[in-house]
Structure 1
Amino acid sequence: MTGVEASAGREATAGAVAAPQWLADAVIYEIYPQSFADSNGDGVGDLAGVRRHLDYLEWLGVDVIWFNPCFASPFRDAGYDVSDYLTIAPRYGTNEDMIAVVQEAGARGIRVLLDLVAGHTSVDHPWFQASMNDESDHRYVWSDRAGDTLVAAPGSRPGWYLKNFFPEQPALNFGFARLTPDEPWRQLPDAEGPQQNRAALREIIGYWLDQGIAGFRVDMAFSLVKDDPGLVETTALWRELGEWMRGAYPDAVLIPESDELRTADAGVRGGFDADFSLVIHDEHSALFNNGGAGILPWQESTEPCYFDADADAADGTRAFERFLSLWNLHPEANGADRLVVLPSADHDFSRLVCGNRTREQLPAAFTFLLTWGSIPSIYYGDEIGMRYLEDAPEKEGSIWTPKYNRAGCRTPMQWDDSLPNAGFSTAPPQDLYLPQDPDPERPAVAEQMDDPQSLLHFVRGLVQLRKSTPALGTRPSRRLLAVGYPLVYLRNETHLVVVNPLRRAARVAGELPPGSAVRHLFGNGVTVDDVGIHADGSAAGSSNSPRPTRSPRPTRSH
């Protein structure tokens, strides 16, 4: 990896492949490339814009950039419909521009992950253009009858093709785990078409790793082999691919878009380096879902979440217990040291600032994200408190269902207070990829960098605290002392973390372990005394003290 020291080696977790230490220590920053920074005034973010802001990312302290798909695409699903995996989309620049980002980020100690859309392509991909006119081509799944997830063939080939998401995203054929006489078109994973696609994945991964990329977040990673009970064939496919990758590129990583509702140990069995707590599923929603993007297709209603500024105490406690039951699936299935990425938000759902949650509650949310023991992923703009825009227009497939619009979390980054585009672009406002937040009080990077008391400085301070305090990382122990408001837990039996996302103050009674003493490290609004812990509204903090000879001496974070 150009400009970044090689890892000291991979550290194994129980039943898992060994993950490189750099991943265990990482703070990830997700960039939606259309919306981060526009360098050429066309209204769309690009890689040259990212390069201009690498100093900001270094200052913030993140050490991994995760890009949403940057490959050539007709952008019917914002780039998750790939037409050429080996070419950067012209709207973002060239392959050389990506290499420059990798090299210049690496010189600052920052690695780059790309988003790999492995299970489907665009209908515009040359593979599909050939397959839709050639009945002997088996790179995609073709049927002789219609169905709910089947789309009529657009070319000379008769029949229907299987889609993965939108109709314009035909599913690549990685085979079916089971054959059935009712669907004679099915092929097993070792058939020619599925094997051709496996070889293509290896080529794509190898090409970008040769350019200095540090690894991939894999979109819909467990969608590859169809009708696969227990994901047996899909995880075998990924383990085989991962073993090849680690042999050729020992420091590279693969992280799946996880689905804890299916099989908790799929990531380990697939040889992935970490799990990913997906924002559109309940593990993440139990913490942060205040509505915003709307009701997901599989939801009947929005359940209360823990980080709700006005939550009822009982509802909030139940929400955290719901999160905890799902979080515990990771260590229960995979070992206590299994790495899990927990994002603030992402490109598919509402931001942290949504519903009744405002910037004032975000210090508590970020304190949790950066001290819980997960690998934190910060969605661009969350560090300054950008809000989800509920009235954002549809853009490039952002509306999944009438009740679910993803555009509101994809609006342009707010760099400064300049009008009308907040430093994102010099284009006329009507030419922007998406409209800027029209709120005259919208937050911006420049003003918060000048304010030591800002959310941005708070997040930066937490990142620095995490980096300088091994007890707050992914490996040390965690022990819950109070579940509810406030939330109180010990890391490594030495560091006390207190989090209260409510607007109102909260208190937990009871003494700390005998002989305990606290020394404030970071945060505000938390008081620890002989009768309990008091947290002001929207308080969060961390403390520590030297380990005692007879009993733990916790510290507090707030």
Structure 2
Amino acid sequence: MSSFRPVPSWLADAVLYQIYPQSFADSNGDGIGDFQGVTEHLDHLAWLGVNTVWLNPCFASPFRDAGYDVSDYLTLAPRYGTDEDLARLVETARGRGIRVMLDLVAGHTSDQHPWFLAAADDPGNDRYIWAEGRPPRFVPSPGSRPGSYLPNFFDSQPALNFGYARSDPAEPWRQPIDAPGPQANRMALRGVMDHWLRLGLAGFRVDMAHSLVKDDPELAETSKLWAELRRWLDDTHPDAALLAEWGDPSVSVPAGFHSDFFLQFGGPSDGLPLRSLWNNNQGTVADHWTQRHCFFDAEGGGTAETFVQAWSEVSSVIGDRGHITLPTANHDFSRLACGPRTAEQLPAAFAFQLTWPTLPAIYYGDEIGMRFVPDLPDHEGSQLSERYNRAGSRTPMQWDDSPNAGFSTAPADQLYLPIDPDPNRPTVAAQRADGGSLLHLVRRLIALRKATPELGAGSQVEVLHTGYPLTYLRGGRYLIVVNPRRAEATLPLPRPELAAVRRAEGMGVTVDATGITAAGFAFGVFSL
């Protein structure tokens, strides 16, 4: 039995939209997106039907990892604007029925953070993890303090000390979770959250939420830490939401998060449920991934069974304690439009995402089919390996056909990242003018989801077929058929009563007494 308050009611109806702020809209011509740029484009989000925005990190930072290296949690990065600019964004968004969430980097800071600079000169400061000498993975001290520190990701991101779950005589630097340093960091994390929530933010997506307590079998102590924070949040900010970058909702939601994402990593299969849907081995590709095919592939070599089974297992664990979030992409993973995947393949992907019982998260630009741009240089730590350069998913939003696609008035060589050079790149303006565009389809699907409780996150699903075409019932009243391959797909009619369905949305699918026939790249949403 959970000891937490129920999930805030608004979250069940959330349509999330992730904004990479430096690439969304530049209001002052310096080549970098900012808060005012987001504010000026809230009408686009409201028109689309988005009701919750998540901003990637916007705190003060040296930007060695695109802001995931925070140098001050209570100060905004000047390149994005002022406190007043963020307050105006939050207030204007609220007036359009949109909540704004921030990205919280909980497990580490920048090596330029005052906390770390103080610790580097004070052997008695235990806010970070220090060792004598230089054990494996540790980085030499940059200050007068001897020894070395443990980074959490890049060397410039020292891990905050939340303690170790287990002691080890061979590693005397390990401190227990109740030591003064780990306890101070717990209180500091609470203080950061309280500061921004009192200014009107709706909650946080927590970066690397699983990484806090070290050597933590089954993440038991890390889970207890978040459960403690959740109970505090329930008491002080009961309407705020916590989303995890954990990649394993079966652990993170019972630990206190209101939702967690299926990600390209995490969980018992290292992110296979999400990758089995979208990953076509183009764009961002980790060397250790062995998956060969995905379901949303023109050649039809995949199966939806991998995803459906994982979703079913996780759902049975978390019950009504929280939600699973399904993203189209994110700032660390390839966009839907990647490699050989063409624009005609995207409608089926959105039809699935917006009718499956998860919270949908749309990555900025995916609603118009922005593509992953290959062969970009490393920028702000984007390149993780030879085949994994995240910059391709972080290029500027394509608003119209004016210079720089309407993103910025700065010279092209001063932009945060180059605009997609494809002369046929999609834009918001062109698709707004075309009622048959992907943008209009995504808008209609969002509206249908909002107007139809059976299509929401809390309604039941009955899967009738996990091959091509993927076929399922929602709430006993809506039949969804999705065929993401190029070839036609057929299925004998699962039940006689389905022959009388009426189409609510879709194209290329017929349902009658003889069965279901779905043309290539077709989908259909039908009411019984």
Cα distance in 2 for partners of 1:119, 1:206 equals 17
Amino acid at match of 2:513: D
Q: Deviations over 1:401-441 (max 9, x none)?
A: 1221000000000000113x000000111101000011110
Q: Is it true that 1:394 corresponds to 2:378 in the alignment? A: yes
Which residue of structure 2 lines up, in the alignment, with residue 289 of structure 1?
279
Cα distance in 2 for partners of 1:462, 1:14 equals 34
Cα distance in 2 for partners of 1:277, 1:525 equals 29
Q: Is it true that 1:524 corresponds to 2:507 in the alignment? A: yes
Cα distance in 2 for partners of 1:524, 1:279 equals 30
Q: Is the 8 A contact 1:410 1:434 kept in 2?
A: yes
Structure 1 residue 510, shift from structure 2 partner: 2.8
Structure 1 residue 512, shift from structure 2 partner: 2.5
Which residue of structure 1 lines up, in the alignment, with residue 263 of structure 2?
278
Q: What is the alpha-carbon root mean square deviation over aligned residues?
A: 1.5
Q: Deviations over 1:241-270 (max 9, x none)?
A: 11111111110011111233xxx5321332
Structure 1 residue 298, shift from structure 2 partner: 3.5
Which residue of structure 1 lines up, in the alignment, with residue 127 of structure 2?
139
Which residue of structure 2 lines up, in the alignment, with residue 149 of structure 1?
137
TM-score, normalising length from structure 2?
0.97
Structure 1 residue 146, shift from structure 2 partner: 2.1
Structure 1 residue 359, shift from structure 2 partner: 1.2
Structure 1 residue 53, shift from structure 2 partner: 0.1
Cα distance in 2 for partners of 1:516, 1:506 equals 17
Q: Is the 8 A contact 1:337 1:475 kept in 2?
A: no
Partner SS, residue 70 of structure 2: coil
Partner SS, residue 19 of structure 1: coil
Partner residue of 1:474 out of 457, 470, 474:
457
Which residue of structure 1 lines up, in the alignment, with residue 434 of structure 2?
451
The number of aligned residues is 523
Partner SS, residue 349 of structure 1: coil
Q: Is it true that 1:238 corresponds to 2:222 in the alignment? A: no
Partner residue of 2:100 out of 84, 104, 112:
112
Amino acid at match of 2:338: C
Q: Deviations over 1:372-417 (max 9, x none)?
A: 1100000000000000011122110000112210000000000001
- In 2 relative to 1, CA 485–105 (structure 1 residues): closer, same or farther, beyond 3 Å? same
Cα distance in 2 for partners of 1:515, 1:102 equals 45
Correspondence list, 1:20-39, <5 A: 20-39=8-27
- In 2 relative to 1, CA 294–380 (structure 1 residues): closer, same or farther, beyond 3 Å? closer
Partner residue of 1:162 out of 126, 150, 159:
150
Cα distance in 1 for partners of 2:51, 2:359 equals 12
Q: Is it true that 1:496 corresponds to 2:486 in the alignment? A: no
Structure 1 residue 537, shift from structure 2 partner: 1.2
Q: Is it true that 1:311 corresponds to 2:311 in the alignment? A: no
Partner residue of 2:178 out of 187, 190, 205:
190
Partner SS, residue 114 of structure 1: strand
Partner residue of 1:358 out of 331, 338, 342:
342
Q: Is the 8 A contact 1:43 1:426 kept in 2?
A: yes
Structure 1 residue 206, shift from structure 2 partner: 0.3
Correspondence list, 1:168-247, <5 A: 168-247=156-235
Which runs of 5 or more structure 1 residues have no equivalent in the other structure?
Answer: 1-12, 546-558
Cα distance in 2 for partners of 1:288, 1:47 equals 30
Cα distance in 1 for partners of 2:145, 2:453 equals 59
- Out of 173-182 and 16-25, give the one that drifted further: 16-25
Which residue of structure 2 lines up, in the alignment, with residue 329 of structure 1?
313
Amino acid at match of 2:70: V
Q: Deviations over 1:48-73 (max 9, x none)?
A: 10010001100000000000001000
Structure 1 residue 311, shift from structure 2 partner: 2.4
Partner SS, residue 413 of structure 1: coil
Cα distance in 2 for partners of 1:349, 1:292 equals 10
Structure 1 residue 333, shift from structure 2 partner: 2.0
Q: Deviations over 1:256-303 (max 9, x none)?
A: 11233xxx532133211112111342121110001222421432x442
Which residue of structure 2 lines up, in the alignment, with residue 10 of structure 1?
none
Q: Is the 8 A contact 2:163 2:214 kept in 1?
A: yes
Structure 1 residue 503, shift from structure 2 partner: 1.9
Partner residue of 1:537 out of 512, 520, 523:
520
Q: Is the 8 A contact 2:4 2:230 kept in 1?
A: no
Which runs of 5 or more structure 2 residues have no equivalent in the other structure?
Answer: 266-270
Q: Is the 8 A contact 1:511 1:530 kept in 2?
A: no
Amino acid at match of 1:535: A
TM-score, normalising length from structure 1?
0.91
Which residue of structure 1 lines up, in the alignment, with residue 468 of structure 2?
485
Q: Is it true that 1:41 corresponds to 2:41 in the alignment? A: no
Which residue of structure 2 lines up, in the alignment, with residue 552 of structure 1?
none
Cα distance in 1 for partners of 2:487, 2:498 equals 30
Which residue of structure 2 lines up, in the alignment, with residue 127 of structure 1?
115
Q: Is the 8 A contact 1:17 1:271 kept in 2?
A: no
Structure 1 residue 15, shift from structure 2 partner: 8.1
Cα distance in 1 for partners of 2:251, 2:468 equals 33
- In 2 relative to 1, CA 225–297 (structure 1 residues): closer, same or farther, beyond 3 Å? farther
Which residue of structure 2 lines up, in the alignment, with residue 412 of structure 1?
396
Partner residue of 1:370 out of 344, 354, 366:
354
- In 2 relative to 1, CA 501–242 (structure 1 residues): closer, same or farther, beyond 3 Å? same
Cα distance in 1 for partners of 2:46, 2:498 equals 40
Cα distance in 1 for partners of 2:63, 2:283 equals 21
Q: Is the 8 A contact 2:498 2:512 kept in 1?
A: no
Q: Is it true that 1:383 corresponds to 2:367 in the alignment? A: yes
Amino acid at match of 1:428: P
Structure 1 residue 326, shift from structure 2 partner: 2.0
Cα distance in 1 for partners of 2:318, 2:396 equals 38
Cα distance in 2 for partners of 1:16, 1:295 equals 38
Q: Is it true that 1:75 corresponds to 2:63 in the alignment? A: yes
Which residue of structure 2 lines up, in the alignment, with residue 554 of structure 1?
none
Q: Deviations over 1:314-353 (max 9, x none)?
A: xx12xx2222232223123222674111000000011000
Partner SS, residue 543 of structure 1: strand
Q: Which runs of 4+ in 1 moved over 4 A?
A: 13-17
Which residue of structure 2 lines up, in the alignment, with residue 51 of structure 1?
39
Partner SS, residue 497 of structure 1: strand
Cα distance in 1 for partners of 2:23, 2:186 equals 32
Q: Deviations over 1:458-516 (max 9, x none)?
A: 00000000000110001111001111111110001110001011122211123534475
Cα distance in 1 for partners of 2:437, 2:196 equals 38
- In 2 relative to 1, CA 238–48 (structure 1 residues): closer, same or farther, beyond 3 Å? same
Cα distance in 2 for partners of 1:16, 1:478 equals 26
